[in-house]
Structure 1
Amino acid sequence: MSTLAGVPPELARAYATSAAGIPGEARREPEDFVVEEVPLYEPSGEGEHLYLLVEKRGITTEEAARRLARRLGVRRRDVGYAGRKDARAVTWQRISFFRARLPADLEALADERLRVHEARPHRNKLKLGHLRGNRFRIRLRGSGSSEDVAREVLDALAARGALNYFGLQRFGHLRNNHRLGAALARGDADAFLELLLLGSRASRGEPLPAAEPDSPLAAARELVLSGRHREAWEHFPQSMRPERAACRALAEGRSAEAAVRAVPVRQREFYLAAFQSLLFNAYLSRRKNLADRVEEGEVAFLHRNGAAFLVEDEAREQARGAAFEISPSGPLFGRRLLRPRKGSGPRADEEALLAEHAPGLGPELGAAFGTRPLGQRRPLRIPVRDVELRREGEDLRVGFFLPRGCYATTVLEELFKRPVA
C-alpha cells in the first residue's frame, strides 16, 4: 500500500482526526497485509455445498475460485464466496463449491499461490455479504518512530468510529470507474465508450503517460483513435474484457448504444456502483463533522441489522448514537432509496450534492442501458474494534476488525493523512 500520485480531485477525502500524518508505507510485500474473513455462520457439516477455508496470496478471489473449481470439477456458476479479497495481500476466506469431487489429500488442491486448510459441507451456497466483517493485521514499514501519534489516532477511531469512505480500490486502477458510471447514468454512450477505450486522459486529447507508449494497451488505444476497432480488439489484453467486448461490437458495425450493451451487465453495474460510491463519499465529506450525531429528519442506520429509519426524536436517538447503536447515514442513490425528510439539513445536502456532481439526474440515477440501481443507505461512520498496536524495531504492527463492506484504507489514511490503495 503506497502513496498515490494522480488521484482525481473528486476522489479526495477528509479526515476525522487532526494529528499529523505518520511516515512509512504498508504492503511492500503481500505478507505485510493479512486479511482474515470473519464468517456470518459456520458450515453445519451437512449438505451438498463444500466450504473450503482458503489461504491465498498474490491473486484475486475470482482467480482462486477459478483454479479450485477446475481442480474440483465444479462449474464456475456453482462457486460462491462472501466477499472479494485483495490480490496484494495474504487473505483467509471460505469459498463454496457445489457437489465437488474432493481429493483425499487437501494438499492436492494447493499451488504456489493458494492452500486449502479445511473442508466442511453445508446446505447453501455462499453469497456476497455472508460475512460479519474482516480482521486486518498490517505491518507499517518505517513508522516505528511515530508510535505515539499512531496510538492517538487509533484511540480516537476506536472511541468515535472511522469515516466510512469507499476506498480508492472501488474506482479501479485507472481511477475512472465512477466517470464510466456517470456516463451510463446519463445514457451517454459516446462518452462511455471514449472513457472505456481511451481512458480519462486520452479521451480528453491528452497524451498517454510516458511509460505506456510501447505497451499493447497504448497500441490498442491508437487503433481506436484511428477507427480500426477490429485490430484494437485484438490488441487489448485478455484481462480487459469490457474493452474487448465493446471493440468487437463496433468492429461488427453495431451502434454505440449496442457496443455499451455488449459490455457484460455485471461490469456495467460495477461502474454504476462506483458512481454511487463517489456521490456517497462527497456527501460524507460535506457532513464529516456530524458523522457521530443524528438530527431530526435524517435517515439513521441501525448497526445491529442494517435497517434504516427516519429520526423523529433527535434527543432520544442521540443517546443511541452515543452508544454506537445507530449512526447518521448517507445515500447510495437509486430508485428505492429512503430519503431524509424535506426541509431537513441532510435532505438539502443530498439535493446540493446531486446538483454539483450529477447535474440533470434525479436520486434514482436513471435507467439507461438496462441498469437500474436499487439504492440504499450506508452509515457515515463505522466502528473500529479490537484495535492492536505494537512497535517492532523501525516498524509498527497494527490490527483491527471492520464490518463487512468497509475498507482498511479508511483507517490507514487517517494514520498517513494521504491517499493509499
Structure 2
Amino acid sequence: MIPKIDSQIGILVYSTKFNGIGGRIKDEAEHFKVNEVLSPKSLKSIIQQDGYAVYKLKKKKIDTNHALSDIFKKTGIRLKSLGLKDASAVTEQFVCSDSKSKSIDNYSSEKYSLEKIGHVKKPLSKKDMIGNHFSIEISDCVGNLTDFTEYDKILNFYGYQRFGSKRAVTHLIGKALLQRNFKKAVDLLLSFTSTYDSKENTEIREKLADPSNYKKYLGQVPPQMDVERIVLQEMIEHDDSQKAIHAVPLPLRRFYVQAYQSFLFNHALSAAFTDGENLFAAQEGDVCYDSHGIIGKYVKGLDQFLALPFVGYSYYKKTRFDFQISKILQTEEINPKDFFIKEMQEISSEGGFRQAAIQCTDYSSTDTTVKFTLSRGSFATIVLREIMKPEDPLGSGF
C-alpha cells in the first residue's frame, strides 16, 4: 500500500521486494549524520597558501542558509555553500569565501563550528561536490535492517523535501504558474493546508482563504511564514496576483517550477516501472550519464547510467519513455511549451535529464544503523523509504 503523501508527489511504486522494517528517523539530530564528499581533484586543490578560504562547517539544529547568514552578521565573512543541509541533522559540509581579502581562522557558536582548512585558486562550486555520505539510526524498527540488500535497485525519485515536506504544495504552485493562473498560485501559497502543519499555521491559512481577511490578519502571520507576508503585503497594496508572485524571491519562484517538473519526473518513473521498463540498465537508443556526469547516447561497453527526461520547453521526445510522459502531460493538461513563461521569463525552464536509478555506494548496516553514499541530487529519504516502507512517512520523521 503506497502512502497518500507518496501518491500526491508522484511516487506510486516500491522498486524493492523487501517487506520493510518500519520505525522512525530523526528522533534526535545525532541519529541523522550527513558528510559532504568532494571530488578527489577538488580536495587536492585546497592548498595551504592564499586565495579563497575554504572552511568545514559542522552544524546541528540550524539549516545551512541560517548558519551562513549568522556567520556573516557576526564576522562580516560572506560564505557560499555547495549544497543545502537541513536543520534536523548533524551535518558537515564545505563552504567557501567569495573574496580573497577577508578570512578568519576558526569560529563557533552553540549550533555550528567553522574550521578553516585551506585556500583555493578559484571558489569551489556545486560541481566540486560529488555526493553525500549518510549515517542514519532507525528507532523502533521491526525486523532485521541487515536483511535489506537491494540498495542497487532503488529508483531515483525526488524526495518529500522537494515538495515542501509537511505541506506538499510547491509543485501545485509551480503548475499554477505554468498555467499563468497567478490567482491560484497566490491562493495555494497563502491558504493550502495540510494535516501535518502546525495548528497555528493551519488556523491562519484557513482565515487567509478569504481575500477580505488579508489586511485584518497580516499582523498575525507568524515570522516563519516570511514568503506569505511578502505576498500578502503586495496583495493588500496592489490587489494584483501576478505582481504579488513577482515579489517572491527569484530562487523560490524557480523552485516552484522545478518542483512541478520533479512531480512529472516521479510520475513518469513510476509509470515506466509499472509498465515493465528496465530502469536499472541502459539499452540501445537510451540517453545516459557517464561516471563523470557527462550526458550522451548509450554506447555498448561503456560504464553508463540510464537517464529519463526532465520535462521543460526543450523536451526531448525520442526516448522509450515518451509514451508514459506524453500520457501524464495529457492528463495534467500541460504542454512542454508551457515551460516557457512569457509573463515571467526568468522562471522558464528548458528541462533536461535525470538518472533513473540511485547510485548507492559504500553501503553497510547493523541492527539499527545504516550507512551509504549517494551522488549529488539523490535523496537519502528515498533509500530509507524502500528499507522502512513507512505507513506514514512524515509521521516517521521523513
Q: Specify the TM-score bucket, using the shorter chain as the normaliser.
A: 0.7 to 0.9
Answer yes or no: is the 8 Å Cα contact 2:314–2:336 preserved in 1.
no
Question: SS where residue 25 of structure 1 aligns?
Answer: coil
Structure-1 residue corresponding to 2:293 = 306
Structure-2 residue corresponding to 1:156 = 150
**For residues 387 and 210 of structure 1, do their structure 2 counterparts lie closer, same or farther at Cα, with a shift above 3 Å needed?**
closer
- Which digits, 9 at most, give the CA deviation of each residue in 1:86-129, with x for residues without a partner? 2110000011223475456x2xx211111123342223333334
**For residues 81 and 407 of structure 1, do their structure 2 counterparts lie closer, same or farther at Cα, with a shift above 3 Å needed?**
same
Structure-1 residue corresponding to 2:54 = 51
Aligned-CA RMSD value: 2.5
**For residues 384 and 162 of structure 1, do their structure 2 counterparts lie closer, same or farther at Cα, with a shift above 3 Å needed?**
same
* 1:178 maps onto 2:187 in alignment: no
Answer yes or no: is the 8 Å Cα contact 1:299–1:309 preserved in 2.
yes
Segments of 5+ residues of structure 2 without an aligned counterpart are none
- Which digits, 9 at most, give the CA deviation of each residue in 1:218-253, with x for residues without a partner? 236515615243343332223323211111111112
Answer yes or no: is the 8 Å Cα contact 2:167–2:196 preserved in 1.
no
Answer yes or no: is the 8 Å Cα contact 2:82–2:94 preserved in 1.
yes
Structure-1 residue corresponding to 2:137 = 139
Paired residue for 1:190, among 168, 183, 186? Answer: 183
Segments of 5+ residues of structure 1 without an aligned counterpart are 202-207
* 1:385 maps onto 2:367 in alignment: no
**For residues 329 and 340 of structure 1, do their structure 2 counterparts lie closer, same or farther at Cα, with a shift above 3 Å needed?**
farther
Structure-2 residue corresponding to 1:353 = 328
Query: Aligned letter for 1:45?
Result: Q
Structure-2 residue corresponding to 1:234 = 219
Q: Matches of 2:197 and 2:147 in 1, distance apart?
A: 41
Question: SS where residue 287 of structure 1 aligns?
Answer: helix
Q: Matches of 1:353 and 1:224 in 2, distance apart?
A: 30
Structure-1 residue corresponding to 2:121 = 123
TM-score normalised by length of structure 1: 0.83
Question: SS where residue 339 of structure 2 aligns?
Answer: coil
Query: Aligned letter for 2:158?
Result: F
Question: SS where residue 288 of structure 2 aligns?
Answer: strand
1:192-341 matches, cutoff 5 A: 192-200=185-193, 212=199, 215=200, 218-219=203-204, 221-223=206-208, 225-288=210-273, 289=276, 290-302=278-290, 304-311=291-298, 317=300, 319-320=301-302, 325-337=303-315, 339-341=316-318
**For residues 94 and 162 of structure 1, do their structure 2 counterparts lie closer, same or farther at Cα, with a shift above 3 Å needed?**
same
Structure-1 residue corresponding to 2:67 = 64
- Once the two structures are overlaid, the 10-residue window that deviates more, 83-92 or 326-335, is 326-335
Answer yes or no: is the 8 Å Cα contact 1:161–1:384 preserved in 2.
no
- Once the two structures are overlaid, the 10-residue window that deviates more, 293-302 or 405-414, is 293-302
**For residues 55 and 252 of structure 1, do their structure 2 counterparts lie closer, same or farther at Cα, with a shift above 3 Å needed?**
same
TM-score normalised by length of structure 2: 0.87
Answer yes or no: is the 8 Å Cα contact 1:56–1:92 preserved in 2.
yes
Question: SS where residue 174 of structure 1 aligns?
Answer: coil
Q: What count of residue pairs does the alignment treat as equivalent?
A: 380
Q: Matches of 1:8 and 1:193 in 2, distance apart?
A: 24
TM-superposed deviation, 1:13: 3.5
